[in-house]
Amino acid sequence: MLIRMANRKSYFLDFREEAPGQATPHMYLDKNGNYIPNSSIIGYRAIGIPGSVAGLTSARKRFGKLSLARDMEPAIRLASQGYRLTQAQAKNLRSPYLKQFSGTRALFQRDGHPYHGGERFRQPQLATTLRSIAHGGAKAFYQGAIAHELSAFLRRHGGLITASDLAHYHARWRQPLVGHYRGYTIITSPPPSSGGVVILEMLHMLEPTHFWRDGFHSAQSLQYQIEAMRRAFADRAVYLGDPDFERLPLKQLLSRSWAQQRWSSFRAGKASRRVGAGPIPGFESTQTTHYDVVDSQGNAVSVTYTLNNWFGSGVTDPRLGFLLNDEMDDFTSKPGVPNMFGLIQGKVNQIEPYKRPLSSMVPTIVSRHHHPYLVVGSPGGPRIITTVYEIISNRIDFHLSLREAVAAARFHQQWKPKQVDLERYGFSRDTRRKLQAMGYTLAVQPPWCDGEAIGIARSRLLQAVSDNRWQGAAAAY
Ligand code: GLY
């Protein structure tokens, strides 16, 4: 959670999940050292120690105005009285993924009588869990009855999270990353998210090129941005992880001289043949939710949090009523083996007890002349990073309206795999041919991510835009 108060002070709250105390670097490998398919993605051993309750209650304690019970009333009402499912939500709940675990099947698929669009979906067990938190605070979740129920449930099913792991968990206040681009200030997420470092590194490489002069989504301007993505994602793989466990070379990665050095191999009109992480001398290299809020005084908050993929690990403790994450897949299960997002990651992100896995979530706030200008974020794994970058660049470099900036077709490159993803219908055949002639392998894909943004005009008028690709919404209170 990234917060920028109207008095210009910024705060970052890290409530990323953590590896359980019994986790080990090789826990997802068989005896021959091969990754066991899906072992970090599905089921009880894929779950990281949950952080959302600690995060949201810590933010409320520091900045909130209402009592916790008042804050939680609407959520408790939604869980107990339910809401009508859209067709798309009902379809998602029919996923075979949710059939595999009895608790999940019982609550989300009514044990073989799946929900239909228009039906009311109630979650009474979740309402009870939320009421306990409303009365007992984060302690109820991490040390009280919920912690005991959850750890006993997981132990019965071979999970690793213990009561003492839950008691050990704390959200951490960190310094946001701050960078500058074309007269704007970019305030963004520090590790264990990789997103802020990757976006700032890209902006540093691109600013001196004036790539925007080649025109929006021209093959030429796309090539500059794709090559910046390749280089920044290669550095992500090797240098980024949990800053509480690893020494991260942030000063180097975020310096202008690093960007200059990384960009020196760029050739206009030709895909770079080999892109690896840049060498740092002396460095030991060994469906997510997003929302933004701006209030009448100009205080801004940008929040991304996640179970990892759709429905997380698939596991629900039926007495508590909520799904558990599979964030353990964001660690490096084995160097060189891609995770579910196709990311290749390094030793710096290997599993260790109580370490937090590297993330791509990147809630970001852009300011201009000390006034907030844009609050932005998205779900979508590593594509979050390029989506947030593109919304910023679409506004600053190409002067698209906020609505156009969020709606514009997206492109994505994450170092490995080598391909450049392009949203279907978004790029002309001519542009695609030119990129192929430069040496890029293209993959045309269905739409991705769900960009959410609030633009703040000089007049202080707020404009909120929710991506038309999914079912988010803009609202004023
Ligand atoms: N779980 C996805 C991410 O944090 O990047």
The pLDDT score that the predictor gives to residue 243 is 97
Q: What is the residue with the minimal CA distance to atom 1 of ligand 1?
A: 308
DSSP percent split of the chain into helix, strand, coil, nearest 5:
35, 15, 45
User: Ligand 1 centre and the CA of 288: distance in Å?
Assistant: 7
Q: What is the residue with the minimal CA distance to atom 4 of ligand 1?
A: 359
Phi, psi of 274, rounded to the nearest 5 degrees: -125, 125
188 catalytic per annotation: no
Asked if residue 360 has its Cβ within 6 Å of ligand 1, the reply is: yes
Q: What is the mean pLDDT of residues 16-26?
A: 97
For residue 255, the 8-state DSSP code is S
Q: What is the mean pLDDT of residues 7-27?
A: 97
For residue 241, pLDDT over 70 is answered with yes
For residue 125, pLDDT over 60 is answered with yes
Query: Which atom from ligand 1 is nearest to the alpha carbon of 330?
Result: 1
For residue 284, pLDDT over 70 is answered with no
For residue 189, pLDDT over 70 is answered with yes
* DSSP annotation string for 256-286: HHHHHHHHTT-BTTB--S---PPP-TT----
Write down the catalytic residue from 288, 304, 332, 364: 288
The pLDDT score that the predictor gives to residue 309 is 87
For residue 382, pLDDT over 60 is answered with yes
CATH class held by domain 1-27+172-314+326-477: alpha beta
Asked if residue 189 has its Cβ within 6 Å of ligand 1, the reply is: no
Asked if residue 306 has its Cβ within 6 Å of ligand 1, the reply is: yes
Whether 386 and 460 have beta carbons less than 8 Å apart is answered as no
pLDDT digits (tens, 9 = 90+) for 309-368: 889 999 999 999 999 999 999 999 999 899 999 999 999 999 999 999 999 999 999 999
pLDDT band (50, 70, 90) for residue 281: low
Q: What is the residue with the minimal CA distance to atom 3 of ligand 1?
A: 359
Mean pLDDT of the chain: 95
CA-to-CA separations, 231 to 204, 236, 400, in angstroms, rounded: 12, 9, 26
User: Ligand 1 centre and the CA of 359: distance in Å?
Assistant: 4
User: Ligand 1 centre and the CA of 179: distance in Å?
Assistant: 22
pLDDT digits (tens, 9 = 90+) for 210-235: 999 999 999 999 999 999 999 999 99
**Percent of the chain at pLDDT above 70?**
99
Q: How far is the first Cα of the chain from the last one, in angstroms, to the nearest whole number?
A: 21
pLDDT digits (tens, 9 = 90+) for 290-304: 999 999 999 999 999
- Reading the block at residue 266, the tokens are 């760029």
The pLDDT score that the predictor gives to residue 282 is 61
Q: For a substitution probing ligand 1, which of 18, 199, 361 has the most ligand atoms within 8 Å of its CB? A: 361
